[in-house]
Amino acid sequence: MNPSFLFLALFWASSQLPDDGEVVPSSFTKAASSSPYLVEGSLHFDRGTEPGIWVPPGEQLKFKVHVDLGVLGQASAGAVTMSSGVEPFVSSLPLPGKSRETSEDMAGWVQIRAQGKHLGYELDHTMTTRFLPQDWPRVLSSEVQKGSENRQRELKLGPGTDEWNLSYRSDSHCHSCTRREHFVEASLPWNKDYHCKRCKRGEHRLWGSSRERSVPTQAIDILGAVYLARSLVRDGADELALCMVQKDRLWDVTLKQGRLEDIQVSGGHVRCREVRLSVSRPEGEPSDGGKFSGLFGIKGDLKIWFHETTGVPVLIEGDVPIGDIIDLHATIRLEGFEGTPEAFGFVE
């Protein structure tokens, strides 16, 4: 079975419509006082338009992944953990003539990790996004996949001199070099050792060069979009249009609020608001013949259920194509939570 359904969780949407191109400085504020809907100490990442992104200071959400196998019932397929934090911002290099800044600036991070095993295939995929109180990069997103396959990706977003830019790089298997550790022992004594042609070993992979391009102002990565969707629900707004960046590609995403429903999780029911994500290729973007389905195994639209007042994600649903013929329905359901807002909880 294709393990890509695990990536469902990595999947929400985001970003913002191109506006007049004005670069709005991003500001960070901590939640002034405690509210039942936001944990005290949450960091506000201002995008110049509402809603902004709020990063909870110490939240951990655990989910179980299930795949619907029709008459065979449901199969458990792995676990997903979402966490976040707020910490003092340390710029990596002090400016010339200055000692390392000990500013009051805070930075926020959010992380999603998917772990699973199926038929000998092992997956451990972590995606981390940092929201930084500086221009470049303002958003730093990294992806590390371990297990049966190894892969790393890095995406930077932020205002350049007159427009927003992205910089993207990924690793790939080394093509040829003289490093002995990339060589494979010859199987026959009269043959020479040779440079590995292609394997899944992480040690044989090297970073490629960065690709740069301009993007709409306030374009955001996938995890940023998740947190924007949370804000949308908390604010009670109906709809939000975004420009989401995945690798170095742009997607138009619409988040639309739907019905209320009590969703069953372990321990009780949570009253949730449905948010549908529809994704399309923006005009003028190169079409590589693919639909959104190529990414993370998702096909078509995605549904996420958020707790109605706090926006804590509770259930993610989507269809995952297996081969060209079968679509499986996958669900990622909340199992445990820590550090959530006071108002989050079960229906009485």
> Which residues of the chain form contacts with Zn ion (CB under 5 A)?
174, 177, 182, 196, 199, 201, 204
Question: 151 or 276, CB closer to Zn ion?
Answer: 151
Q: How far is the CB of 81 from Zn ion (least distance, A)?
A: 30
DSSP percent split of the chain into helix, strand, coil, nearest 5: 10, 50, 40
Question: 130 or 182, CB closer to Zn ion?
Answer: 182
Please check whether residue 127 is in contact with residue 143, taking contact to mean a CB–CB distance below 8 angstroms.
yes
CB neighbours of 284 closer than 8 A, spacing ≥ 6?
none
**DSSP per-residue letters across 306-332:** EETTT--EEEEEEEEEETTTEEEEEEE
What is d(CA 177, CA 200) in angstroms, rounded to the nearest whole number? Answer: 17
Q: How far is the CB of 142 from Zn ion (least distance, A)?
A: 22
Question: 201 or 211, CB closer to Zn ion?
Answer: 201
Q: How far is the CB of 184 from Zn ion (least distance, A)?
A: 7
Q: How far is the CB of 204 from Zn ion (least distance, A)?
A: 3
Question: 179 or 213, CB closer to Zn ion?
Answer: 179
Q: How far is the CB of 209 from Zn ion (least distance, A)?
A: 16
Q: Which of 338, 345, 333, 347 is nearest to 74 (CA)?
A: 333
What is d(CA 108, CA 45) in angstroms, rounded to the nearest whole number? Answer: 8
Question: 176 or 266, CB closer to Zn ion?
Answer: 176
Please check whether residue 57 is in contact with residue 42, taking contact to mean a CB–CB distance below 8 angstroms.
yes
Structure tokens at 261: 């429903």
